[in-house]
């Protein structure tokens, strides 16, 4: 739970960002920075895997919204995967699901970019 980490997997036209730990301001800023780098490098199809992130606060949510917005500006797409049931309900309630896809696993999330 306390482990704090971000892993990037780039594969041709898409990239996967996997987070671990509490998605608050600190982890969120790292995530946003990684996303910015990927977008600058031409990746507009992203998957964020939150399987190892069981805790998110409102700042983490706002950072995810920024990433969605940045991708939409470049006509890109973002899919989430590995969400707990509560996280999925939270994302739907906070309207993230309106602008990004939610899928159970990474493979499906990539396939639906």
Q: What dihedral angle (degrees, nearest 10) is formed by the CA atoms of 17, 18, 22, 23?
A: 20
Q: Which CB atom, from 99 or from 101, has the smaller least distance to other proteins?
A: 99
3-state secondary structure of 11: strand
Helices (H), the chain: 25-40, 58-73, 85-93, 96-99, 106-111
Q: How far is the CB of 6 from other proteins (least distance, A)?
A: 16
Contact indicator for 96, 58 with CB cutoff of 8 Å: no
Q: How far is the CB of 81 from other proteins (least distance, A)?
A: 20
Which residues of the shown chain bind other proteins in the complex (CB under 8 A)? Answer: 1-2, 22, 24-26, 29, 54-59, 61-62, 65-66, 69-70, 72-74, 86, 89-90, 93-94
Q: Which CB atom, from 51 or from 66, has the smaller least distance to other proteins?
A: 66
Q: Which CB atom, from 9 or from 74, has the smaller least distance to other proteins?
A: 74
């Amino acid at each position: 739970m306390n482990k704090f980490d971000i892993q990037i997997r780039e594969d041709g036209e898409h990239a996967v960002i996997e987070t671990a730990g509490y998605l608050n301001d600190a982890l969120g800023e790292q995530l946003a920075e990684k996303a910015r780098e990927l977008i600058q490098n031409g990746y507009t199809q992203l998957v964020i895997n939150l399987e190892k992130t069981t805790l998110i606060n409102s700042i983490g949510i706002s950072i995810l919204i920024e990433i969605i917005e940045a991708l939409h500006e470049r006509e890109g797409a973002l899919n989430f995967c590995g969400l707990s049931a509560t996280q999925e309900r939270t994302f739907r309630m906070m309207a993230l699901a309106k602008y990004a896809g939610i899928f159970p696993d990474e493979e499906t999330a990539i396939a639906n970019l």
